Structure 1
Amino acid sequence: MKIYVGNLSYDVTEEDLNQAFQPFGQVESVAVIKDKMSGQSKGFGFVEMASKAEGQAAIDGLNGKEFKGRTLNVNEARPRSDNRGGYGGGGGKGGGGGRGGYGGGGGRGGGGGRGG
């Protein structure tokens, strides 16, 4: 059973989560979700327990409990169905031809002497 763990302190490691969930049964996997650019924790993660019963025991035992100074939000992970809304695919061709630059009149013309 896959479990969502939210409101984690930013310094919580996967090992910390593993230790928190082990009393409830066999921990199959642990992941703390991190920002790709900075490597900083995003404050949530996932734990996979060997069975639904163990997962439910962990949810019941840890949801709302304080862990490293934060109150945990623990529940069964739901599959992401919405695909984050979109903006799919490459988007418009943009810009376009733009030939004609500013009319050919070569106003370099000499003179200009205002002299007076």
Structure 2
Amino acid sequence: MKLLIRNLDRATTEDELRTLFEGYGVVQSCTIVQDPATKGSKGFGFVEMPKIGDAKAATINLNSHTLGANKIRVKKADDKVESKEKPSE
């Protein structure tokens, strides 16, 4: 299950985020989104956990958890559906 983590402290590293979520199970991938121009954090990232139960436990327990100077927000990431069709008028 892919999780969206928002409101990350800009100084948070992927290793810190991974370690936090590994307390709830195996972490398949961990990415903090960076601004291409500044290479700095945009304040959000994604964690992917293969076991749904582990991901749900992490979501419940880590939502509003303080990491760095911020309380993070954790929720299931929505799957993007990109359509090349324009809506009919």
TM-score scaled by length of structure 1: 0.68
Q: Measure, in 1, the Cα distance between the counterparts of 2:58 and 2:47.
A: 10
Q: Which has the higher strand share?
A: 2
Equivalent position of 1:33 in the other structure: 33
Q: Measure, in 2, the Cα distance between the counterparts of 1:78 and 1:31.
A: 16
Q: Does residue 66 of structure 1 match 2:59? A: no
Task: Work out the percentage of aligned pairs sharing the same amino acid.
Answer: 33
Q: How do residues 1-116 of structure 1 correspond to structure 2 at under 5 angstroms? A: 1-81=1-81
* TM-superposition CA deviations, 1:37-89 (whole Å, max 9, x none): 11010000000012110100100110011111101110000012367xxxxxx
Gaps of 5+ in 2: 84-89
Which amino acid is 1:30 matched to?
C
TM-score scaled by length of structure 2: 0.88
CA RMSD across the alignment: 1.2
User: What is the number of equivalent residue pairs in this alignment?
Assistant: 83
More relative contact order, 1 or 2 (CA 8 Å, 6+ apart): 2
